[in-house]
């Protein structure tokens, strides 16, 4: 999956869908960690990364993990969620949200997303609650924050835990507050394509000292005590991040503000370019939201076959794209789950007609303009009539 995520190439190599930015500072810090012998996870880099990152998202505690998926899994485990419990997840998200609920033996319950922000619909969430519901997993999809006020109210009334999936939302804000520490536990990913990256990696953040201790313990094989006498009273996981990865993360974190500003500028260019195109829909940014824009996705008119034609023509012009997430309730292994009650029209539409365009910390504004021009012209030629010029 990480193939093609590299610097922009020469004029003849295709524009990748994700253009990251790693510099000399990342290389220097990683080399320093190796030279100092900090190649495991008990060195100063992991600790400093946990401290600095949790401070940026205004959480009291951070526990670095080997991936965002690991962060979600250990969070659910730290809350003691298990068989017989239901966890509400948005239908439109990455499969890790579903997988991690299954890892702990709980039952996922899918809820459709809002047609404007593409995030968990608070009203539909309320309607999906049963006596077995234990937690809600709001996902700040593509960097856009979930309406956390509404969701936290629901969680309070029904006594539910909130596990924020902020894997795509480093630097995103809900009503001026960074996402991640708005629920009980928040999970970030530092996978290669995310807003900041350590190659693979993740972090759990929380305001609760108790949940931080549970997470810390479970993410490293549940050692019973500092003395490491190899007696374990419960099952744990090895989900540690290494110091070399954390060193890269520290360098990336220094540039988070710069990255988010760049991403927001690029998103605005796309938005402006598609404003007069009735056949191209984009994710709205709510008045209370500040998105870090993990990706930029357009929704095309018509279904999957038209999207394929647009993607094929863009590829011919040297522009890589990727399809949007496939709805969870339609995952081929989904039918044996009983989480799919009801209909999911918004998630279905995004899954069939969403197309993700080139983006990233290292992409140039000139490239964004060129891609936007190409998308407009391809959509007009492939979907004549849909823009009123039949
Ligand atoms: C990337 C992602 C994850 C998983 O993170 P990994 O580091 O790839 O394991 C979870 N949820 C969402 C919404 C993501 O985008």
Instruction: List the chain pLDDT tens, one digit each, 390 residues.
Output: 344 455 555 556 899 999 999 999 999 999 999 999 999 888 999 999 999 999 999 999 999 999 999 999 999 999 999 999 999 999 999 999 999 999 999 999 999 999 999 999 999 999 999 999 999 999 999 999 999 999 999 999 999 999 999 999 999 999 999 999 999 999 999 999 999 999 999 999 999 999 999 999 999 998 876 667 888 888 999 999 999 999 999 999 999 999 999 999 999 999 999 998 999 999 999 999 999 999 999 999 988 899 999 999 999 999 999 999 999 999 887 655 655 567 899 999 999 999 999 999 999 999 999 999 999 999 999 876 554 443
pLDDT at position 16: 95
Ligand 1 binding pocket mutation candidate from 2, 67, 69 (most atoms within 8 A of CB)? 69
Q: Where are the domains of the chain?
A: 24-254, 256-382
pLDDT at position 385: 59
Locate the ligand 1 atom nearest the alpha carbon of residue 201 and give its number.
7
Determine the Cα–Cα distance for residues 329 and 322; give it in Å rounded to an integer: 20
pLDDT at position 315: 97
69 touches 113 (CB < 8 A): no
Residues with Cβ within 6 A of ligand 1?
A: 67-69, 93-94, 96-97, 139, 165, 167-168, 189, 191, 202
DSSP one-letter code for 82: -
Longest dimension (CA), the chain: 75
Selection from 42, 62, 53 nearest residue 220 by Cα: 42
Atom 14 of ligand 1, residue of closest alpha carbon? 167
Tell me the pairing of strands 86-90 and 107-111.
Answer: parallel
296-299 sheet: strands from edge to edge: 281-282, 296-299, 354-357, 322-323
280 touches 354 (CB < 8 A): no
Cα 262 versus chain centre, distance? 18
pLDDT at position 230: 83
107-111 sheet: strands from edge to edge: 61-65, 202-206, 185-189, 161-165, 133-136, 86-90, 107-111
SS3 of 254, please? helix
Atom 5 of ligand 1, residue of closest alpha carbon? 68
Selection from 345, 289, 291 nearest residue 148 by Cα: 289
Instruction: Give 319 Cα–ligand 1 centroid separation in angstroms.
Output: 24
Q: Name the region of 199 (left: φ>0; alpha: ψ -120 to 50; beta: rest).
A: left
Determine the Cα–Cα distance for residues 70 and 219; give it in Å rounded to an integer: 8
pLDDT at position 389: 41
Instruction: Give 207 Cα–ligand 1 centroid separation in angstroms.
Output: 22
Q: For the structural domain made of 256-382, what CATH number should be given?
A: 3.90.1150.10
> pTM of this prediction?
0.94
Instruction: Give 110 Cα–ligand 1 centroid separation in angstroms.
Output: 17
For residue 18, report the phi and psi dihedrals to the nearest 5 degrees.
-130, 120
Considering the four listed CATH numbers 3.30.230.10, 3.40.640.10, 3.40.718.10, 3.40.50.2000, the one that applies to the domain covering 24-254 is 3.40.640.10
Selection from 370, 281, 360 nearest residue 18 by Cα: 360
Locate the ligand 1 atom nearest the alpha carbon of residue 70 and give its number.
9
For residue 71, report the phi and psi dihedrals to the nearest 5 degrees.
-60, -45
pLDDT at position 1: 38
């Amino acid at each position: 999956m990480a193939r093609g995520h590299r610097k922009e190439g020469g004029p003849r190599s295709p524009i990748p869908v994700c253009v990251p930015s790693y510099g000399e500072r990342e290389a220097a810090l990683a080399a320093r960690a190796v030279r100092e012998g900090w190649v495991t996870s008990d060195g100063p880099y992991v600790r400093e990364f946990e401290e600095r990152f949790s401070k940026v998202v205004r959480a009291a505690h951070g526990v670095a993990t080997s991936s965002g998926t690991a962060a979600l899994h250990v969070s659910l485990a730290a809350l003691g969620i298990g068989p017989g419990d239901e966890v509400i997840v948005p239908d439109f998200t990455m499969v890790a949200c579903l997988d991690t609920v299954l890892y702990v033996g709980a039952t996922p319950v899918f809820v459709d997303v809002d047609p404007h922000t593409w995030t968990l619909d608070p009203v539909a969430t309320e309607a999906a609650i049963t006596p077995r519901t234990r937690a809600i997993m709001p996902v700040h999809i593509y960097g856009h924050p979930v309406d956390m006020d509404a969701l936290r109210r629901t969680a309070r009334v029904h006594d539910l835990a909130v596990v924020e999936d902020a894997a795509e939302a480093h630097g995103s804000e809900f009503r001026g507050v960074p996402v991640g520490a708005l629920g009980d536990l928040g999970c970030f990913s530092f996978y290669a394509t995310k807003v900041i990256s350590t190659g693979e990696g993740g972090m759990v953040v929380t305001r609760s000292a108790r949940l931080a201790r549970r997470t810390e313990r479970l993410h490293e094989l549940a050692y019973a005590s500092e003395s490491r006498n190899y007696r374990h009273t419960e099952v744990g996981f090895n989900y540690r991040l290494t110091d070399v990865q954390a060193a890269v993360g520290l360098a990336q974190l220094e540039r988070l503000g710069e990255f988010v500003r760049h991403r927001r500028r690029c998103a605005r260019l796309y938005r402006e370019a598609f404003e007069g195109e009735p056949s191209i829909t984009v994710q709205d940014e709510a008045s209370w939201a500040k998105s870090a824009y993990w990706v930029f996705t357009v929704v095309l008119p018509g279904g999957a076959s038209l999207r394929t034609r647009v993607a094929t023509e863009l590829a011919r012009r040297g522009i890589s794209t990727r399809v949007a997430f496939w709805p969870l309730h339609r995952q081929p292994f989904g039918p044996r789950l009983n989480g799919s009650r009801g209909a999911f029209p918004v998630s279905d539409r995004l899954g069939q007609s969403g197309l993700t365009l080139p983006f990233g910390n290292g992409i140039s504004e000139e490239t964004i303009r060129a891609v936007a021009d190409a998308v407009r012209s391809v959509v007009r030629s492939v979907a004549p009539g849909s823009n009123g010029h039949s």
